[in-house]
Structure 1
Amino acid sequence: MSAPPPFVRNYIDVREQRGPLLRRGRVVARVVLVWVLTVLALRLLDDALDGFAMDSWWQPTVCALLLGLLTAVVWPLVLRVALPLALFTLGIGSVLLLAAGVLAVFAVVPGVHLGGFSTAVIVVAVMSVVGAVVSSLLSLDEDEIFYRRAARRRKKAGDGGVDSAVPGVLFLQIDGLGHETARRAVRDGTMPTLARWIAEGSHDLTSWHTDWSSQTGASVAGILHGSNHDILGFRWYEKDRDHVMACAHSADAAEIERRHSNGKGLLAVDGAARGNLFTGDAPHYSLTMSTVTFLGGHHSARRKDRLGGGYWAYFANPFNAVRTLWGALVDAGREIFEAARQKRSDVRPRTNRGGLYPFARTGTTVIARDIVVSALIEDMLDGRPAVYADFLGYDEVAHHSGIERVDVLSVLRSIDQQIGRLHRVAHLAPRPYLIVALSDHGQTQGQAFSDRFGETIETLVGRLCGGTPPVPERRWFGLGGPRPTAAQKSAQRTAEGWQVGAALAEASSGAGVIARRLRARVERAGAAPEKHRTESGRPGLVTRVAPGVVVVPSGHVAMVSFTEHEGRVDLETVERGFPELLPSLVDHPGVGFMLVHSSEFGPVVLGRDGLHRLRTGLVIGEDPLADYGPYAADLVRRVDTFPHCPDIMINSRYDPARDDASPFEPHVGSHGGLGGPQSRGFLMYPGELPAPGEIVGAEALHRVLRGWLTHLGQPVPGEEPSAEADEIQAERGSVAG
């Protein structure tokens, strides 16, 4: 990619030869055509739309001119102030603002009668259709617009101080796309752009193994900052602060980045972060969770980019806002249809997809996708050396639909289309660009734990620890009695299936060898259950499932902490306080293994039919980690060293025969632990880069990506360019010339 392909060079040559005249001709043609069609549209609306009327022949002509000025001149100026409204209302605010502008235009033209605001919204929609028709007539599809913008920017700014001899890199993360799903999507034509790259030999596809915490927080922190130490899940409990950390909470995300950033992240050298959890120390970022409410520290000098750049450029065109809103409504309709079809066909596993979710999902599948792509285009035109962006749509829909069902594959296809567009635009940037596509983890499919077993993991642990089951809220509808909770409804459905009932009975009996061994230990120690436990100290800030017991689920892991004890509580203390807890959990059909820490043996992994002492590697019975990959012992051993490691860390049971596991959250496709495809992300990279070899853990993936940037001649953060880097740059410059 050191030089643009022939079709791009021909395009640029034609632009340079016919430049000013061609541009003026197209601009004039577009203005005239938009004006004529707007006049015709207003006349049609005058005849067809109740509440809208024009008394004289000249009024549509004048209104069309004023509407053109509104969208071309006034609207971009207004949006500089109102951009947050456009972003945080998912584009709806843009449409409403534009409708208010239309009301104002018609109010100043005598003889124009407009029934109200809703009529103005209809007029805005019609004007957007007119803009789309004009684009089609002038062959101005999105790719063509990107080329025009890039060519004008390149001619006006020249090199812009960018050393075009050193390639830039776009890191495009498809959130949650597992390696095997990616392979099948390439094979079956769901992702034609990536398939073409592999067929042409320009890119190679491989996999990488996640940490025990196979979720975005741990993975992205490791990838961007080179460290994910002490990140236990997408959320976890910190006993010393009595606080649940949540990666999706802006203040917590900022704190996580503060703990892991050393100022030398993957994007520290003039890079950009778009739509991520963390910045990677990029000086340019937007829609990044760790910066949303951060008011000081190492982000303070970079706040100017938060809502600027490509997002303003995108919403400055009112037709973009309307088009995105229309796409969001179509996507919401598709979600409602697919959810109804799943329910009608009794597809299982499935989860609740009602309420506001059909509209909430469009925030990732359409709106965030569109504005992230727009920002990436601006980044390339500005010559940023490294850009990292996250496409969330696949992960979001797979949680609710499944990892390879029809509707989620359509989302994957749309992401592939955007990657193809970015690849074409990259040839017009002031420097060559390589594209690396990757994922932060995969997903494992299965029926949710609460649906399969009739109670949540929080309720289960609370019950075993002597807690009182939650009382459902009493709601009167003239029938009396409390409204059953979702868990109670699930339990009722479960009771109708005798196989599940048998499994639950087996779990409560503690028939497994490890459960018998744990009970024998308790009997030998002469411990008695503590019937009445009260929480000491100040009132807890985090909900307890039982006195002194906190449970935090995160995908396929659940973390249990005993708040009456400081620091890590050992296995022996848990046995004395709650003699039935460990035996019942280890025998539960939804529990795969548990990590506990013994004062005698150190970290111990307990499974139904065996245990694994991580300090010595001794396995008694069947290895509980056998079905969780070749790196499971090392990954679990690492988590045991984390300062905030919970007292008990539970991983869901994975069935390799069915490729199935039950997450502790109400998802269909899920991740966060070990077991199945969730632990294998994909990595597609240009063949000219060194092969990465086997990659285990997000920190190792960071070293690979950082090594690629250095290989291409980009400077290492905090280091002076070496003589070798200068030679690489000079060599690339001579080749490009």
Structure 2
Amino acid sequence: MKAARRLRPADFARLAVGWATGAAALGVAVWLLPGLSVTSGWAVVGVAAVTGLLGLVIRPLLTEVAAVLGWLVVGLAALVGQAVVVHVALTLVPGVECTSFWTAVAASWITAIASTFLVWAATAGTSDSFSASLRRTARHHREVPDPELDGVLFVQLDGVSHQVLSWALQSGSMPTLHRLVASGSHTLHGWTVQIPCTTPASQQGILHGTCQGIPAFRWLDRELGRVVIANRPADAALIEERAGTGRGLLADDGVSVSNMFSGDAPRSLLTMSRITLTRGSRDTRRIFAKFVLRPDGFARSLSRTVAEIVRERFQASRQRRLDVRPRVHRSWTFAVLRAVSNGLLRDMNTMILVEEMMRGTRSVYVDYVDYDEVAHHAGSARLESLAALTSLDQVLSVLEDVSRHTARRYHLVVLSDHGQSQGQPFADRYGIDLGGLCADLMRQRVETYEENPESWGRVEVLLDDLAGREKLTERAAHSAARRLRARATVADPEETGAPVVLGSGNLGMVYLPEPHTLADLDARWPRLVPGLVDHPGIGFVAGDDGRGPVAVGAHGVHRLDTGEVEGTDPLAPYGEHAAIRLRDALRMPQAPDLYVNSALDPETLEVSAFEDLVGCHGGLGGWQDRAFLLAPAGWVPPGTEIVGAEDLHRRLVAMLEALGHRRNMPKRT
């Protein structure tokens, strides 16, 4: 079956609208620029037509050059590529005078911005025109060898709890998903997240079928003798190498997009674990170049990125003005990082998805981090965080529209990897961070790191994956990536010999250079465990007391192997699955000597992050361990209880097998 389709009247209408808006936008440039003049309105129409035709020839050439040479060339092409097209058109069409090439550069930018605004206004701000533009930009392949086999789009909305999604559906913030649920085509399910409630553990479980080896977002790996941070590309590659079997969720002609791990996909784009292997993806650069070289694509992403910075600064100022509590300082650095994830990266991910759908890829798994990024700093239930879900719903609308024009039928599965819980950071509430508290109780220096590294890792991946083979761009990308990695470094514990205290949301970890039981800790630092559990900000600590894993609270102990409770159960406020999930986490060889979980307010469900975050995830308490799965009706029986990402992986694999996927899988390695 051919992926191309017959032209319809709507296509000619879109072409006419594009031509008209292009001519009108060019008219704006003529009006604003003294170095650009025309003798008649027909000359403007002619330039618009010639510009469109030339773009069909010149832009593909620039795309291939940028794909080979890397992201600096992509950026240069984005700045002046359309100007080349406009300058040639101005030269060819009679009745037009342009004084210099730089006038053409200014004209191309003004035309792109004006055209983007006009198209947005003509479509009432919907995503219809964006969807059509992506379909035209995507590579159309002549033939899909097995069009009778349905494909699956796995779309992860990072950090969205089941409760928050239910709110969004009821409030009208996500009309596309609401329509799918209301029509009966899809059903909404909740699932219980394992410990740790983090993207690395959940994604490894969902994509590779195991959560083993990941005790937190970052941890001390005694085998390596250093701290491992899951969203460092080199560390992500190491983690996947340990967990991979060759039979991951995407092993059968799947593609991983913007994830931490590949799911054994044959091709991966913007995927952390594959960056160090590919040293920059030519596919990623080609798709990115094709998008930004379109005047509407680049202008859209640029305007949205700038708007996101302005929006973030306004929202941060409004929180301070209204004295919203809890809150944290929201810097200009965060504003830029948020703009990258909620503007450029969102469009990039969507463009890649459309490209893969037009290609006929069997399955794609993509991670959109928009909500998670905002909610960490604004709060998981705040209006600006919920607004990010509306933007993501528009992305789902685009994907739904594109799926009507593909050779392969696609099913949409939307899910989250964890939720978020809200509360005042531990250090703000109690005037001391977890590292300082442990140092006081142990009466010695500790190495500590409690800064949130998630956003920096995404920027590093984007830089690395867009880096080309050409030495200049490669050096520039890796130099920028090194500066980002320097922000996420702790001292080598083998060199210092000091205990290491790490924060991962509201889950803290205490590591000693050599493994210690709770009895060892009590003998060497008798004030540590009693001091922690007596602190009002600590709910419980957990470790191995020599007889097995235990959770210790201020007034009781819970033996996790037997379920025996002495005194008051410290895990009672955290749910029925808390003991089993904590036991499984403590059994990992990479587990710390001591897990520390913050206290839970039973009235507000607030917790206190050991990082400078309002919305957090990592341990137990609140909604962080309540994720969601929205799947086609009948794929998951009603009332099904899903506990842990490994369980979810088995169900997603079963979905693929029911569609006819995974029939010629490699043997498990």
Structures share fold, TM-score greater than 0.5: yes
Of 584, 591, 599, 1:653 maps to 599
Measure, in 2, the Cα distance between the counterparts of 1:685 and 1:28.
Answer: 36
- For residues 72 and 34 of structure 1, do their structure 2 counterparts lie closer, same or farther at Cα, with a shift above 3 Å needed? farther
Q: Spell out, residue by residue over 1:43-79, the C-alpha distance to the aligned partner (whole angstroms, 9 max, x if none).
A: 31235xxxx4559889979976775566443233223
1:228, distance to aligned residue in structure 2 (A): 1.5
Contact 1:168–1:431 (8 Å) recurs in 2: yes
2:110 alignment counterpart = 125
- For residues 38 and 174 of structure 1, do their structure 2 counterparts lie closer, same or farther at Cα, with a shift above 3 Å needed? closer
1:325, distance to aligned residue in structure 2 (A): 0.7
2:30 alignment counterpart = 43
Of 128, 133, 154, 1:143 maps to 128
Contact 1:434–1:686 (8 Å) recurs in 2: yes
- Structure 2 counterpart of 1:551, which letter? V
Of 240, 250, 256, 2:239 maps to 256
Structure 2 counterparts to residues 59-70 of structure 1, below 5 A: 68=52
- For residues 315 and 454 of structure 1, do their structure 2 counterparts lie closer, same or farther at Cα, with a shift above 3 Å needed? same
Measure, in 2, the Cα distance between the counterparts of 1:236 and 1:106.
Answer: 58
Of 550, 575, 589, 2:500 maps to 550
When structure 1 is superposed on structure 2, of 248-257 and 72-81 the one drifting more is 72-81
- For residues 448 and 597 of structure 1, do their structure 2 counterparts lie closer, same or farther at Cα, with a shift above 3 Å needed? same
Measure, in 2, the Cα distance between the counterparts of 1:140 and 1:660.
Answer: 37
Contact 2:25–2:114 (8 Å) recurs in 1: no
Of 366, 369, 375, 2:346 maps to 369
- For residues 139 and 552 of structure 1, do their structure 2 counterparts lie closer, same or farther at Cα, with a shift above 3 Å needed? closer
Measure, in 2, the Cα distance between the counterparts of 1:699 and 1:22.
Answer: 45
Aligned-pair identity in percent equals: 35
Measure, in 2, the Cα distance between the counterparts of 1:470 and 1:265.
Answer: 36
Contact 2:26–2:107 (8 Å) recurs in 1: no
Of 294, 306, 319, 2:296 maps to 319
Structure 2 counterparts to residues 611-690 of structure 1, below 5 A: 611-690=557-636
Q: Spell out, residue by residue over 1:612-652, the C-alpha distance to the aligned partner (whole angstroms, 9 max, x if none).
A: 12233221111111111111111111122211111111111
Measure, in 2, the Cα distance between the counterparts of 1:320 and 1:45.
Answer: 22
Structure 2 counterparts to residues 155-554 of structure 1, below 5 A: 159-164=143-148, 166-295=149-278, 305-308=283-286, 310-467=287-444, 541-542=491-492, 548-554=498-504
1:76 alignment counterpart = 60
1:104, distance to aligned residue in structure 2 (A): 6.9
Measure, in 1, the Cα distance between the counterparts of 2:68 and 2:510.
Answer: 40
Structure 2 counterparts to residues 594-609 of structure 1, below 5 A: 594-599=541-546, 601-609=547-555
Larger radius of gyration: 1
1:356, distance to aligned residue in structure 2 (A): 1.9
Measure, in 2, the Cα distance between the counterparts of 1:674 and 1:626.
Answer: 11
Structure 2 residues without counterparts, runs of 5 or longer: 452-489
Measure, in 2, the Cα distance between the counterparts of 1:76 and 1:559.
Answer: 51
Measure, in 2, the Cα distance between the counterparts of 1:629 and 1:315.
Answer: 48
Q: Spell out, residue by residue over 1:669-705, the C-alpha distance to the aligned partner (whole angstroms, 9 max, x if none).
A: 1101111200010111111314271111110100011
Measure, in 2, the Cα distance between the counterparts of 1:39 and 1:364.
Answer: 31
- Structure 2 counterpart of 1:272, which letter? V
Q: Spell out, residue by residue over 1:274-329, the C-alpha distance to the aligned partner (whole angstroms, 9 max, x if none).
A: 11111111112211111122259xxx9xx554444x54442342320111110111
Measure, in 1, the Cα distance between the counterparts of 2:585 and 2:226.
Answer: 19
Alignment of 1:709 onto 2:659 = no
- Structure 2 counterpart of 1:449, which letter? F
- For residues 459 and 105 of structure 1, do their structure 2 counterparts lie closer, same or farther at Cα, with a shift above 3 Å needed? farther
- For residues 580 and 152 of structure 1, do their structure 2 counterparts lie closer, same or farther at Cα, with a shift above 3 Å needed? closer
Measure, in 1, the Cα distance between the counterparts of 2:524 and 2:76.
Answer: 56
Which secondary structure state, in structure 2, belongs to the residue aligned with residue 595 of structure 1? strand
- Structure 1 counterpart of 2:428, which letter? D
1:31, distance to aligned residue in structure 2 (A): 7.9
Structure 1 residues without counterparts, runs of 5 or longer: 1-11, 472-485, 487-539, 721-737
Contact 2:138–2:355 (8 Å) recurs in 1: no
- Structure 2 counterpart of 1:602, which letter? G
- Structure 2 counterpart of 1:77, which letter? L
Measure, in 2, the Cα distance between the counterparts of 1:365 and 1:612.
Answer: 43
- Structure 1 counterpart of 2:651, which letter? V
1:557, distance to aligned residue in structure 2 (A): 1.0
- For residues 559 and 136 of structure 1, do their structure 2 counterparts lie closer, same or farther at Cα, with a shift above 3 Å needed? closer
- For residues 399 and 138 of structure 1, do their structure 2 counterparts lie closer, same or farther at Cα, with a shift above 3 Å needed? closer
- For residues 83 and 333 of structure 1, do their structure 2 counterparts lie closer, same or farther at Cα, with a shift above 3 Å needed? farther
Measure, in 2, the Cα distance between the counterparts of 1:120 and 1:415.
Answer: 33
Contact 1:59–1:112 (8 Å) recurs in 2: no
- Structure 2 counterpart of 1:133, which letter? L
Measure, in 2, the Cα distance between the counterparts of 1:469 and 1:93.
Answer: 47
Measure, in 2, the Cα distance between the counterparts of 1:226 and 1:267.
Answer: 11
Which secondary structure state, in structure 1, belongs to the residue aligned with residue 623 of structure 2? helix
- Structure 2 counterpart of 1:639, which letter? A
1:717, distance to aligned residue in structure 2 (A): 5.5
2:643 alignment counterpart = 696
Measure, in 2, the Cα distance between the counterparts of 1:334 and 1:403.
Answer: 17
Measure, in 1, the Cα distance between the counterparts of 2:120 and 2:143.
Answer: 30
Which secondary structure state, in structure 2, belongs to the residue aligned with residue 437 of structure 1? strand
Measure, in 1, the Cα distance between the counterparts of 2:156 and 2:124.
Answer: 31
Contact 2:419–2:624 (8 Å) recurs in 1: yes
Contact 1:230–1:639 (8 Å) recurs in 2: no
Measure, in 2, the Cα distance between the counterparts of 1:244 and 1:198.
Answer: 43
Contact 2:253–2:363 (8 Å) recurs in 1: yes
- Structure 1 counterpart of 2:348, which letter? I
Contact 1:467–1:546 (8 Å) recurs in 2: no
Contact 1:592–1:654 (8 Å) recurs in 2: yes
Which secondary structure state, in structure 2, belongs to the residue aligned with residue 411 of structure 1? helix
Which secondary structure state, in structure 2, belongs to the residue aligned with residue 294 of structure 1? helix
Contact 1:663–1:670 (8 Å) recurs in 2: yes
Which secondary structure state, in structure 2, belongs to the residue aligned with residue 655 of structure 1? coil
Measure, in 1, the Cα distance between the counterparts of 2:10 and 2:555.
Answer: 76
Q: Spell out, residue by residue over 1:143-190, the C-alpha distance to the aligned partner (whole angstroms, 9 max, x if none).
A: 356468769999x856521232x3211111110000111111111111
Contact 1:287–1:307 (8 Å) recurs in 2: no
Question: TM-score by structure 2 length?
Answer: 0.83
Contact 1:224–1:267 (8 Å) recurs in 2: yes
Measure, in 2, the Cα distance between the counterparts of 1:663 and 1:31.
Answer: 50
Contact 1:264–1:718 (8 Å) recurs in 2: yes
Which secondary structure state, in structure 2, belongs to the residue aligned with residue 645 of structure 1? coil
- For residues 129 and 402 of structure 1, do their structure 2 counterparts lie closer, same or farther at Cα, with a shift above 3 Å needed? same
Measure, in 2, the Cα distance between the counterparts of 1:541 and 1:137.
Answer: 56
When structure 1 is superposed on structure 2, of 56-65 and 408-417 the one drifting more is 56-65
2:522 alignment counterpart = 575
- For residues 167 and 62 of structure 1, do their structure 2 counterparts lie closer, same or farther at Cα, with a shift above 3 Å needed? closer
Measure, in 2, the Cα distance between the counterparts of 1:134 and 1:586.
Answer: 60
- For residues 116 and 639 of structure 1, do their structure 2 counterparts lie closer, same or farther at Cα, with a shift above 3 Å needed? same
Measure, in 2, the Cα distance between the counterparts of 1:335 and 1:149.
Answer: 27
- For residues 616 and 111 of structure 1, do their structure 2 counterparts lie closer, same or farther at Cα, with a shift above 3 Å needed? closer
Measure, in 1, the Cα distance between the counterparts of 2:75 and 2:410.
Answer: 34
1:446, distance to aligned residue in structure 2 (A): 0.4
Measure, in 2, the Cα distance between the counterparts of 1:339 and 1:145.
Answer: 29
- Structure 1 counterpart of 2:110, which letter? A
